[in-house]
Structure 1
Amino acid sequence: MSTCTTLSRELTEPLAGTAPTARSWLLVEQAGPWGARALTESHFDPDLGRELQRRTAGTGVEIALIRRPGRHADRPPSGRREVYLAHTAPGRSWVRRATLHPEDLLDLDFAALGAGAHGSAGAAYDGDPLALVCTNGRRDRCCALLGRPLAAELAAAGHAQVWEVTHLGGHRFSPTMLVLPYGYAYGRLSAHTAKEVLEATHQGRTVPEWCRGRSYWSRPLQTAELAVRQQFGVDQADALVVEAGGPEAEETAVTVRHTDGRLWRASVRRTLLQPARQESCLKPAGNPTGYEVVALTAQAAR
């Protein structure tokens, strides 16, 4: 049976520049079944879900539901949920953890969270990297068929902070995984390469070969950063800072700076990918937007 992931692999569609975009993440535990739009189509209070969507709109905060791999009850018995807050700015990333009732989420300052200020919400988390594997089959069957076995394998291998997550975009790159605190998304993973990614993240590194981009950046900036990593062998997670020379256009000028003073200029072109393909098994074929680096030059170190 053909799937969106099968066609994407056959077309050797690039991973770079396909990560979800979010400066900060709010992850809320919710066991049980998830609908395609999980915040309003699950056991999570749909009115609360809609209000959280309203309050986070335009703040840079992305909300997702999470659950442990394997069988689980429909909802935590106490009504209290494990919650993670994360910010993904290079050199200023952090993760906070709390256990609270879902309605307490309305007390959060989402504009501040998006800007990187947690306001002492929760407690500092400095444990193993969070591994968030997309498994929501109601959004795309590939996420369930490929994501759930991966999450289960990672948990069985002893990675304590593995969670299933409702949505990371890029269904055709399944299985996909987001790692925090850095916010790098990965795709087309196997159990072996996912374990490699988690070990690298634990050491403060990235694995550019399977990387879709850092969620903190827009997609043209993700593409430029990964081009530098791949061509110049940069794998330290917080080594690069990226900025655009102007608003996104058909061709965007991007500057990539290394903490050691090196500097690169990139030109990133936005294209419509050919031939048409399904972005999801549930969508008709179309031409998704892609990004490619058409020029990359090293500048004199500063």
Structure 2
Amino acid sequence: MAGTASHGVVWVLIEYPGGWPANGFEGLDLQPETKKLVLSAAQASRARVVLVRRPGRRRRQAHKHWAVLRHEDSGAYRQQWGTWRHDEDLAEIATALGFPGKLGHPPVILVCAHSQHDQCCAVRGRPVGRALSERWPELVWECSHVGGDRFAANVVVAPDGVYYGRLDAESSVATIDEHLAGRIHGDYLRGYTDLFPAQQAAVAATLRRFGPAGRNDYVVAATFRDGDHWRIRITGRPPHPALVDVELQAHRAPPCQLTCRGPAMSSALVYELTSIRAV
């Protein structure tokens, strides 16, 4: 599972309590000009557009929320929030994507529950969403597709950019509780979205070997590749190891069904740990 987080550091959240089409925001029946504007601005910023709603019973409301979340290279997290009532109000998202946003907001916890994209996400995600919202009602949202249906239930902490997978109600509460306390564990970790797959797998291996750490306590300093062999050097902040060398071997896993809805068998790329040592 490590090394499977979707790459990206900018998120656009759009609250939409109604049913979500299989292709998410693109499939909504909204004003075409506004939708095109939002999608073009998101593409230019390399942002991911995700539909969100609060877990549990859906309530009709006059104003819905939108947000632009950003994880900077420095490790800083920035957010810009707004509300919308009419389709044209969503044009503010395009403007917000042009500014860095504000510091100081708490993170957002996204639980994939997109049944029209893959029923596994809804069946496994909704109990996780309910359990997390009972503990952190202001932070938790159900969301549309974030990738990796086979790892449902999937949880993403944004703008931290941390993907977790194969969670249930009990393990999700424990995992997020540790995350919010600055202790990310490797057990359910899929990866950090600012890293590429082999780097994600290396960080997950480091967390499993040397124990939990904060989101920015480990930094990938160098990456070397020789065919399917990867060597990744990671720097750590005290009290964690100052330097860690991780070696991985990439290979294709046996063909399997990667999504509940997809009938075709496919082979996923897996990164197997071959060596890890503190330098």
Please report the TM-score for the alignment, with normalisation by the length of structure 1: 0.80
| 1:281 matched residue in structure 2 | 260
Contact 1:17–1:219 (8 Å) recurs in 2: yes
* CA distances 1:222-273 after superposition (whole Å, capped 9, x unpaired): 0000111101114222210014435795333322110236112223332211
Deviation at 1:32, TM superposition (A): 0.6
| 1:34 matched residue in structure 2 | 20
| 2:92 matched residue in structure 1 | 104
Aligned positions of 1:81-96 closer than 5 A:
81-87=65-71, 89=73, 91-96=75-80
| 2:250 matched residue in structure 1 | 270
Cα distance, 1:295–1:69 mapped onto 2, change above 3 Å: same
Contact 2:127–2:168 (8 Å) recurs in 1: no
How far, CA to CA, are the matches of 2:234 and 2:33 in structure 1? 42
Structure 1: runs of 5+ lacking an equivalent: 1-14, 111-117
Among residues 219, 242, 261, which one is paired with 2:197 in the alignment?
219
Deviation at 1:139, TM superposition (A): 0.9
User: Does 1:63 find its partner at 2:49?
Assistant: yes
How far, CA to CA, are the matches of 1:167 and 1:222 in structure 2? 20
How far, CA to CA, are the matches of 2:182 and 2:74 in structure 1? 11
| 2:177 matched residue in structure 1 | 199
SS in 2 for 1:224: helix
Identity value in percent: 25
Contact 2:233–2:245 (8 Å) recurs in 1: yes
Among residues 138, 159, 163, which one is paired with 2:137 in the alignment?
159
Deviation at 1:88, TM superposition (A): 5.8
Deviation at 1:55, TM superposition (A): 3.3
How far, CA to CA, are the matches of 1:86 and 1:20 in structure 2? 15
Aligned positions of 1:250-261 closer than 5 A:
250-260=228-238
How far, CA to CA, are the matches of 2:189 and 2:4 in structure 1? 9
| 1:12 matched residue in structure 2 | none
Deviation at 1:291, TM superposition (A): 1.9
User: Does 1:241 find its partner at 2:226?
Assistant: no
| 1:185 matched residue in structure 2 | 163
Contact 2:42–2:94 (8 Å) recurs in 1: no
How far, CA to CA, are the matches of 1:94 and 1:236 in structure 2? 18
Deviation at 1:51, TM superposition (A): 4.0
* CA distances 1:168-208 after superposition (whole Å, capped 9, x unpaired): 21111111100134221111112111111221122122122
How far, CA to CA, are the matches of 2:163 and 2:70 in structure 1? 14
How far, CA to CA, are the matches of 1:249 and 1:134 in structure 2? 34
SS in 1 for 2:142: strand
Deviation at 1:43, TM superposition (A): 4.4
Deviation at 1:165, TM superposition (A): 0.7
Please report the TM-score for the alignment, with normalisation by the length of structure 2: 0.87
Deviation at 1:141, TM superposition (A): 0.5
How far, CA to CA, are the matches of 1:143 and 1:248 in structure 2? 36
Among residues 48, 52, 57, which one is paired with 2:38 in the alignment?
52
How far, CA to CA, are the matches of 1:20 and 1:137 in structure 2? 19
Counterpart residue type for residue 265 of structure 1 = D
User: Does 1:23 find its partner at 2:9?
Assistant: yes
Q: More strand by proportion, 1 or 2?
A: 2
Among residues 72, 85, 107, which one is paired with 2:58 in the alignment?
72
Counterpart residue type for residue 259 of structure 1 = R
Moved more, 142-151 or 65-74: 65-74
Moved more, 224-233 or 284-293: 284-293
Counterpart residue type for residue 167 of structure 1 = H
How far, CA to CA, are the matches of 2:258 and 2:16 in structure 1? 27
How far, CA to CA, are the matches of 1:88 and 1:177 in structure 2? 21
How far, CA to CA, are the matches of 1:91 and 1:182 in structure 2? 8
Q: How many residues align?
A: 272
How far, CA to CA, are the matches of 2:260 and 2:167 in structure 1? 19
Contact 1:279–1:286 (8 Å) recurs in 2: yes
SS in 2 for 1:106: helix
Moved more, 81-90 or 141-150: 81-90
